[in-house]
Structure 1
Amino acid sequence: MSNEPAVPLYLYQKRWFLDRSRFKIGMFARQTGKTFTTTLDIVDDCFEAWASGGRTRWVILSRGERQAKEAMEAGIKLHAKAYQLAYDMAIEEELEYDFVPDPERPDVKFKALEVALSGGSRITALPANPDTARGFSSNVFLDEFAFHRDSREIWKALFPVISAGWKLRITSTPNGKGNKFYELMTAKDPVWSRHEVDIHKAVADGLPRNIPELRAGISDNEAWDQEFELKWADEASAWLTFELITACEDEAAGDPSRYTGGPVYIGNDIARRNNLWVAWVLEQVGDVLWTREIVARRNIPFREQDAIMDELFHRYNTVRLAMDQGGMGEKPVEDAKGRHGPLRVDGVLLQGSTRLNVATIGKQAFEDRKIRIPMGDTALRADLHKVRKVIGETGGIRLVADDDSEGHADRFWACMLGVSAAQIAPEEFAYRSAAPSANSERNPLRSRHDDDQPALGHDRCRFRPGAF
């Protein structure tokens, strides 16, 4: 049987496809077709099983439900047509398996997409976590493994499952050094067949990309180094490592339509010209802060900044707004207190110990996974990773960030301010009518109906002592 693929491939894709090693791992630059090529590998394996009168089983574990669906729609389904394999596809059907899709959100149902191909081979795609990894005995494809939450726990659950002769395929772009993908790619053992394709090698092998244009467009040296040149980021000085950041990413975050009416906390990093003006909206759901919206604008007048903030206060049950009061922030903070009340607006001077305290509170939320942020936003991820700690001669810690075309870690500080604002819960008060006085008839301010009024429940008035 020919090893030539049923669809045209670039040279680096052919090398990956024709490598029939049992354990195969590849580190590829962004948008170079790693998922497309690996799903072709999977369909070809099913085709070979069918041609020899057998059947096989594959499971694709992706970092989220959207990515699992893309692997099935733009990969498996497309290649099955190219091989002229008949298939039945259970799209949008919740398949029943003996695991909880996400232990942190047991009430959320994830959809497992499944294809049954000619000859009885089956392919299932679903979000990855240790329970889903443990739930199957099959060949496995770990898609974007460096970005999987709990990558080491997934690995411990998975490897015994595939030990009985099953194949394993792993692809990803780098995501720092704190995950299992880094360990597998940099190990010196001969067991794994390792492939590495940066943007330069991909273009040399035929991928039509304009490298100078891409680099100018991303406008972030660190993001370029990681996403396209496959350099392992130095995480030693990063305040938020990539592993911490991606572990808190969720497909449901960043969508205002998912707001449930709970208390909201907003962090606001203020800028007028060069950097970004950012409002980060967090809703408290249980003990987790869910990002509902991130508004980022550049070079907008103060009146427009005020209008955006007023609109956020109108749409959300905003308990507290924490604003960067340093520099040009004095007047916006003063104006916001006048419009929304001094008990709902905190002006924070991000200097000295206060700056470190705010960042520490925010970092703790990431470490404890008490925050959810939008998934797959490269610019956001780079901004959150931009802040680094520098140890001074006296042992003190300073937080620094490069100032580039994407700003000065403006999203980072808006996020940290929002998390800090949520640390002290609002106090709610109940009010009860006073007992009628002997001279109530002569009190012109007292309603004649007051004596008939029941005790009032708590209203929306809240008091919070200053958090900073």
Structure 2
Amino acid sequence: CNPIAEGILMAHQVDWLRIQAQIKLCEKGRRTGITFAEALDSVITASSQKSAGGMDCFYIGDTKEKGLEFIGYCAKFSRVMAEAQASGVSEIEEFLFEDQDESGNTRHINAYRIRYASGFKIVALSSNPANIRGLQGKVIIDEAAFHRNVSAVLDAATALLIWGGRIVIISTHNGKSNPFNQMANDIRDERYGDSAEVYKATFDDAVANGLYERVCYMAGEVPTADGKEAWYKKIRNAYGPRKSQMREELDAIPRDGNGVCIPGVWVDEAMRPGREVLRLALDADFVHQALYRREAYVNDWIDRELAPVMAELDPELRHFLGMDYARHRDFSIICPMSVDMSRHRDVPFVMEMHKVPTRQQQQILFYILRGLPRFVGAALDATGSGETLAEDTADEFGHNRIHQVKISRAWYGAWMPKFVQLYEDGAITMPKDDNLHQDVRAIETVEGVPMIVKARSQDLKDPDLYRHGDFAGAGALANFATLEVTSGPVAAKSRRPRQGRRITQGYA
């Protein structure tokens, strides 16, 4: 059967579009198609004459990619409607949208536009405008709970109602204390009068309304009852022990706490392409090899992979380091961090190790510490099994330079806000890597304290491995070192990196 024979929208999408309130807010589960339905409504609205309710439509997503996806949906709908009705519609245009903040400062935002014969247009912005109040018409704020300044965005949007505009707010949840959830509760409590309405669309709603059948249709597969059950369980089981996150992302039930501390857009702004994320992942049998073979293998790896990256470091900058130690389940992360005269933090590369014996982790760590230009100091995780490596490193490089940190709730409360602040202020740069992005977003506010929760997420480079916000921990430790280690750079007499011996055979 053809699941779209009776229409391209599912029942919950139709119900959402039927709501005519000036303020519409949708609490949604992932991939429930609400934004897709909103694209169709925007095309109908922008292509209609003013007498029929036509107006400009502005889409504000939390990432540039969301804007491109939305305008792409609109273009497809427009072409179909243009063929059916012979109505005028332009192609997608890319242009610079002029934005002006309250102080009169002007900036230009990349934007995408489709213009219609009605005189109205659909505009998708690549980032949040400072002056939402300047947008007249229908404004769609997608993934509102993840915007840089959620409260300011929602407050500014309500000003549009003065001129008869419409506000559409769509998002998955990001914690109970997030302003998006607070606004949803305020609407339910009728604090916005009868001009606002809340709608909830969960993953289960979408499944009941034919989501699985549509997935099969697009993939050219035949839907079956057994296949549907297996597909449904696969989606649910993908969250593993992260039940609260599963309920938030699929069932639209917000988690306790404030949710994610650092919006994805802040992390995107900090990322720079062309920087290495080095990885050494070994299997469980490696530790049973003779010590000289293990050392030779790692020396060879250092020569081939690590030494060229170290050679590219800026010799004029002071360097620090943070290390979040792990031995078996999680990744052990080494995060070098330089600081320039403006106190900007830069992460030139990241070293990831999985199931690497402690002796070989020390081999790599010592190589990096001896090779960092103008090395000042480091902070190492000395919690649990990391205590021995932290102590040995302090013995080697000096206890005044190597901080042995017992990570606790109190430590998180004192130092994690300073790491989060770097992203808010745009004062940190780092490699462009999806796993690192995922790690930074693992920092959550729990009862007022930003910290890395125990939930694990799947590693994007190796789906068989899982992460625990590992880079976020190492980055916070590195930033702690920049603030706490006050000794000057290591003197010239300190040992330089020993070149690893090349070998023709190693452990594979």
CA–CA distance in structure 2, aligned partners of residues 109 and 364 of structure 1: 30
Does residue 1:271 correspond to 2:326, yes or no? yes
Does residue 1:363 correspond to 2:417, yes or no? yes
Which consecutive residues of structure 2, in runs of 5 or more, have no partner in the other structure?
83-87, 213-227, 277-312, 458-465, 495-508
Q: 1:182 to 1:102 in 2, by over 3 A?
A: farther
Structure-to-structure mapping, 1:59-458, within 5 angstroms: 59-73=58-72, 75-84=73-82, 86-91=89-94, 93-99=95-101, 110-129=109-128, 131-187=130-186, 188-189=189-190, 190-208=194-212, 210-219=231-240, 220-235=242-257, 241-242=258-259, 244-246=261-263, 249-257=266-274, 265-280=320-335, 282=337, 284=339, 286-287=342-343, 289=345, 296-302=352-358, 305=361, 310=367, 320-333=377-390, 341-342=397-398, 346-350=402-406, 356-357=410-411, 359-366=413-420, 369-370=424-425, 379-380=438-439, 383-385=442-444, 388=446, 402=454, 406=466, 410-424=470-484
Structure 2 residue matching 1:195: 3-state secondary structure: strand
Alignment deviations for residues 172-209 of structure 1 (CA, whole Å, 9 cap, x no partner):
00011333311221122233232111211211111117
TM-score (norm 2): 0.66
Alignment deviations for residues 303-360 of structure 1 (CA, whole Å, 9 cap, x no partner):
6645765579869986543221333324544665688x548962423166xx623541
CA–CA distance in structure 1, aligned partners of residues 63 and 361 of structure 2: 34
Structure 1 position 420, deviation (Å)? 1.0
Structure 1 residue matching 2:21: 3-state secondary structure: coil
For 2:96, give the aligned amino acid.
Answer: E
Alignment deviations for residues 94-118 of structure 1 (CA, whole Å, 9 cap, x no partner):
3334349999xx9x96412222233
Q: What does residue 435 of structure 1 align with? A: none
- Looking at secondary structure, tell me which structure has more helix per residue: 2
Q: What does residue 26 of structure 1 align with? A: 26
TM-score (norm 1): 0.71
Q: How many positions carry a matched residue from both structures?
A: 409
Structure 1 position 142, deviation (Å)? 0.5
Structure 1 position 17, deviation (Å)? 2.7
Q: Verify the 8 A CA contact 1:53 1:119 in the aligned structure 2.
A: no
CA–CA distance in structure 2, aligned partners of residues 221 and 281 of structure 1: 34
Structure 1 position 228, deviation (Å)? 1.1
Q: What does residue 238 of structure 1 align with? A: none
RMSD, aligned α-carbons: 4.4
Q: Verify the 8 A CA contact 1:389 1:399 in the aligned structure 2.
A: no
Structure 1 residue matching 2:442: 3-state secondary structure: helix
Q: Verify the 8 A CA contact 1:151 1:180 in the aligned structure 2.
A: yes
Structure 1 position 256, deviation (Å)? 4.9
Structure 1 residue matching 2:25: 3-state secondary structure: strand
Q: Verify the 8 A CA contact 2:46 2:120 in the aligned structure 1.
A: yes
